Amino acid sequence: MSINIEKIIQDINWHIEPTNLYEPIGYTLESGGKRLRPQLVALACEMFGKDPQTIENVALAIEIFHNFTLLHDDLMDNSPTRRNRPTVHKKWNANTAILSGDAMMIKSYEFLAKIPEKYWVKVFPLFTQTALEVCEGQQLDMDFEARRDVTIQEYFEMIRLKTAVLLACSLKMGAILAGASDEDQKLIYDLGIAIGIAFQLKDDYLDTYGTFETLGKRIGDDILCHKKTFLLLTALKDANEQQRNRLKSTIESTTQTDSQKIETVTGIYNELNIPNICEVAINNYYLEADKLLQKISVADESKTKLKTLIDKLKIRDK
Amino acid sequence: MSINIEKIIQDINWHIEPTNLYEPIGYTLESGGKRLRPQLVALACEMFGKDPQTIENVALAIEIFHNFTLLHDDLMDNSPTRRNRPTVHKKWNANTAILSGDAMMIKSYEFLAKIPEKYWVKVFPLFTQTALEVCEGQQLDMDFEARRDVTIQEYFEMIRLKTAVLLACSLKMGAILAGASDEDQKLIYDLGIAIGIAFQLKDDYLDTYGTFETLGKRIGDDILCHKKTFLLLTALKDANEQQRNRLKSTIESTTQTDSQKIETVTGIYNELNIPNICEVAINNYYLEADKLLQKISVADESKTKLKTLIDKLKIRDK
């Protein structure tokens, strides 16, 4: 099966009144991104036996919801750019970002309700629960910025909620629409959690070790925003006293410039072999995903496309 | 039938993790208000033959959604108080107001999904459409603040979306849950639009002619925020050239104090008999509501409670 999700997204007409409400939604959605979640819905559905008409609207609902979270997160983080373009609150203003985001979230429910009614009873509660969990994850992420005692375990719970549950939900939605068994639905959900955690670990990694050109956003934001990333938490755990003190004083410094802070912190990460530790952790989650994929009760050849996508995610640099 | 909506709202447990996400929701919901929308759900349902178990969650969903809109609107308007207490963005901060508001909106869908599945197909699309219209109304309201050429007709379309559709939706939800005919559902929806418009006209009136003690918020905010209210638009229409110039220069003045502005504008309203014109307009919408109520195909005695509520709304001072 193949659905051209990019075309479907670009074809939605947002040139409707009031334009100040809907134009920023079109602007947010047209700017691309990986469309990973719609791909997951489609691949899961195809793996279990497809029903393209029903996939399309669920895929759209999830992609619109995901972009809503980016819109509001960018405002809360005061991020100036996203995908090489000004964020909505920079191009318009904060109120536009708030209200267009709200409308976007409601729109995601509107698209969800376009699927045949027989699926509603499974799809609506999963979507709502996932959406709430994403908010909880974002809240924990913000809470952690002000805390100095975040554990690595708490970090994993945060990224499970903030990132992984929506990928898991996407896969499970595809499985539901294809009529997969409850057991396979659970396996593919857990697989989504594993690749979601790996995905977020890679995001943390790229925020420090990626490039502006590839990512389309500032490098080192996490360091400047006191984000408790896997990199920082592992560094704090592994550091000797002198390194730990340098890390803490640099991050909390009010006299160092942004680039000085990024350079110093990255230097300590390198001393502590953090890039490699992070890569090993990412790899372990992908191995876990592979194991779960093997357990799913469909023929191996049906799993190829999802396997290929997972392999691509492993080596992404943006 | 009677459901104690206040008790049901107060009994929801918001003391859950992450507390920074859910506590502001509890704070927003516990602070009372008229609970008008849940009352409308219940009264409509009772009028057509009740089913209390199903009313409760729809009433909660709508009340939570309504309070979500207040939370985000207060942030966008930068209002310092609501119901005599600091608004969420003042008590916490803007990010808390954004994210807790988002979670609140999703929660409203969660409560909606608690009603029996057989109602979903009617209830979900109505709720989603109404929620989008409320966003559109809020957008128009903000657009109007920057415009100088808003017509009274545009104003009525804005308040229909911003305020009336949610009251109409509340009544129609009650009718749907009670199994009312399509025609009666339409009549009660239109009745809701009429009392909704009357309700917003009264809100406009009270923003200038109410008291801080009764309303729990600053008087004259609409004047200071350049809101295109029924009062202002009617005054601009009815004013002579000298009055119109005084109105415009006062509202846009950067040298006058807030209280000078409010005093001058209110003075011109009084010269032009605006309070009386506003009261007549409000009354006409209530007469329209009465006519629609008469057309609904249930016995007159079943209509008494809704009639009593409408009569109460007519004379409210807060």
pLDDT digits over A298-317, tens only?
999 999 999 999 999 988 87
Spans of all domains in chain B:
5-297
pLDDT of residue A34: 87
Q: What is the pLDDT of residues B253-308, one digit of tens each?
A: 999 999 999 999 999 999 999 999 999 999 999 999 999 999 999 999 999 999 99
3-state secondary structure at position A86: strand
**Long-range pairs for B126-129: beta carbons < 8 A, 24 or more residues apart:** B126/B169, B126/B172, B126/B173, B126/B176, B127/B61, B127/B62, B127/B65, B127/B169, B127/B173, B128/A106, B128/A109, B128/A110, B128/A113, B129/A110
Tell me which of A3 and B222 has the higher pLDDT: B222
Do the Cβ atoms of B41 and B112 come closer than 8 Å? no
Q: Residue B314: is it exposed, middle or buried by C-beta count within 10 angstroms (0-12/13-18/19+)? A: middle
**Cβ within 8 Å of residue A7, ≥6 positions away:** none
Cβ <8 Å between A113 and B136 = no
Residues 97-156 of A with CB under 8 A from B: 98-99, 101-103, 105-107, 109-110, 113, 117, 120-121, 124-125, 128-129, 131-132, 135-136, 138-140, 142-143
- At position B238, the amino acid (one-letter code) is D
Q: What is the mean pLDDT of residues B220-225?
A: 91
d(CA A198, CA A134): 17
Residues in chain B: 318
Report the percentage of chain B scoring pLDDT > 70.
98
CA distance A20 to A35: 25
Contacts of B131 in chain A (CB under 8 A): 106, 109
Tell me which DSSP letter residue A113 carries.
T
Nearest chain A CA: its distance from B131 CA (Å)? 7
Q: B192 and B40 in contact (C-beta within 8 Å)?
A: yes
In the predicted model, is pLDDT for residue A1 greater than 60? Answer: no
- Inform me whether the pLDDT recorded for B37 exceeds 70: yes
Residue B183 has pLDDT above 90, yes or no: yes
Work out the pLDDT band at A2, boundaries 50, 70, 90. low
**Among B110, B132, B139, whose Cβ lies nearest the Cβ of A106?**
B132
CATH number of A5-314: 1.10.600.10
What tokens were used for A227?
Answer: 């984000």
Beta strands in chain B (DSSP E): 81-82, 85-86
Output b/e per residue, B180-218; b: 16+ Cβ within 10 A.
beeebbebbbbbbbbbbbbbbbbbbbbbbbbeeeebbbe
Other C-beta atoms closer than 10 Å to the C-beta of B126 total: 17
pLDDT the model gives residue B84: 87
Query: Tens digits of per-residue pLDDT, B60-98?
Result: 999 999 999 999 999 998 989 998 899 999 999 999 999
The first and second tokens of residue B203, run together, are 């809100």
Tokens of B152: 């009274």
How many Cα atoms within 13 Å fall on the side-chain side of residue A84? Answer: 11
Nearest to A130 by CA among A177, A162, A176, A159: A162
pLDDT at site B39: 94
Count the Cβ atoms, other than its own, within 10 Å of residue B302.
Answer: 13
Q: What pLDDT does A189 receive?
A: 98
Answer whether A21 touches B (CB < 8 Å).
Answer: yes
Q: Could you read off the pLDDT of A235-294 as tens digits, one per residue?
A: 999 999 999 999 999 999 999 999 999 999 999 999 999 999 999 999 999 999 999 999
Spell out which residues of chain A touch residue B128, defining contact as CB-CB under 8 Å. 106, 109-110, 113
**pLDDT, mean over chain A:** 94
Dist CA A289 CA A52 (whole Å): 25
Q: What is the pTM of this model?
A: 0.94
Residues B126-156 have pLDDT tens digits of: 999 999 999 999 999 999 988 999 999 999 9
| pLDDT tier for residue B34 given thresholds of 50, 70 and 90 | confident
Compute the C-alpha angle B40/B42/B45, nearest 5°: 105
Q: Which among B106, B120, B132 is the nearest to A131, CB-wise?
A: B106
- Tell me A254's DSSP state: S
Contacting B residues, span 235-294, partner chain A, CB-CB under 8 Å: none
d(CA A82, CA B123): 36
Shortest CA gap A148–chain B (Å) = 17
pLDDT at B53: 66
Question: What is the ipTM, given to two decimal places?
Answer: 0.94
Whether pLDDT at B48 is above 90:
yes
| Burial class of residue A308 (count of CB atoms within 10 Å of its CB; 0-12, 13-18, 19+) | exposed
Identify which of B110, B112, B166 has the alpha carbon closest to the alpha carbon of residue B138. Answer: B166
pLDDT at B205 over 90: yes
CA B255 to chain centre: 33
Of A75, A65, A85, A58, which Cα lies nearest the Cα of A25?
A65
Q: What is the pLDDT of residue A133?
A: 98
- Pairwise CA distance, residues B95 & B114, whole Å: 29
Q: How far apart are CA B15 and CA B187, in angstroms?
A: 41
d(CA A20, nearest CA chain B) in Å: 7
Give the span between the Cα atoms of B192 and B167, in whole angstroms.
5
Considering only CB atoms, which chain B residues are within 8 Å of A142? 20, 95, 99
Under CATH, what is the fold of the domain B5-297?
Farnesyl Diphosphate Synthase (1.10.600)
What are the φ/ψ torsions at residue B120 (nearest 5 degrees)? Answer: -55, -45
CB pairs under 8 A between A and B: 104
What is the SS3 assignment for B276?
Answer: helix
CB contact under 8 Å between B125 and A113, yes or no, is yes
Amino acid identity, residue A122? Answer: K
Per the structure block, which two tokens stand in for A245?
A: 């003190």
d(CA A284, CA B81): 51
C-alpha–C-alpha distance, residues B171 and B114, integer Å: 19
Tell me the one-letter amino acid at B290.
Answer: D
Q: What's residue A66's pLDDT?
A: 98
In a mutational test of the A interface, the residue from B67, B98, B111 whose CB has the highest number of chain A CBs within 10 Å is: B98
Q: What is the pLDDT of residue B1?
A: 46
Q: Which residues contact B160 (CB under 8 A, 6 or more apart)?
A: B137, B193, B196, B197
> Nearest CA to B197 among B171, B231, B160?
B160
DSSP B85: E
Cα-only R_g, chain A? 20
Contact A268, A235 (CB under 8 A): yes
Q: Is B225's Cβ below 8 Å from some Cβ in A?
A: no
Q: What is the distance in angstroms between the Cα of B47 and the nearest Cα belonging to chain A?
A: 29
- The reply to whether residue A109 touches residue B103, judged by beta carbons under 8 angstroms, is no
- Contact between B302 and B189 under an 8 Å Cβ cutoff? The reply is no
pLDDT for residue A215 is more than 50: yes
Spell out the alpha helix ranges (H) of chain A.
Answer: 5-11, 19-30, 36-48, 52-77, 88-91, 94-112, 120-146, 152-159, 165-177, 182-209, 212-215, 221-224, 230-238, 241-252, 258-271, 274-295, 304-314
Instruction: Looking at the complex, report in whole angstroms how far the Cα of residue A126 sits from the nearest Cα belonging to chain B.
Output: 10
What percentage of chain B's residues is helix, strand, coil (to nearest 5)?
A: 75, 0, 20
* Inter-chain CB proximity A120 and B124 less than 8 Å: yes
Neighbours of A86 (CB within 10 A): 14
Locate A170 and state its tokens: 């996407």
3-class DSSP string for A177-228: HCCCCHHHHHHHHHHHHHHHHHHHHHHHHHHHHCCHHHHCCCCCHHHHCCCC
| Digit-coded pLDDT (tens) for A63-104 | 999 999 999 999 998 989 998 899 999 999 999 999 999 999
Tokens of A41: 């819905």
* CA-derived radius of gyration, chain B: 20
Name the minimum distance, in Å, from the CA of B112 to any CA of chain A: 10
Share the mean pLDDT of chain B. 94
Interatomic CA distance for residues A191 and A309, integer angstroms: 13
Tens digit of pLDDT for each residue in A8-32? 999 999 999 999 999 999 999 998 7
Mean pLDDT of A99-114: 98
Place of tokens 């859910």: B22
Cα end-to-end distance, chain A, whole Å? 26
Most confidently modeled range among A53-57, B163-167, B209-213: B163-167
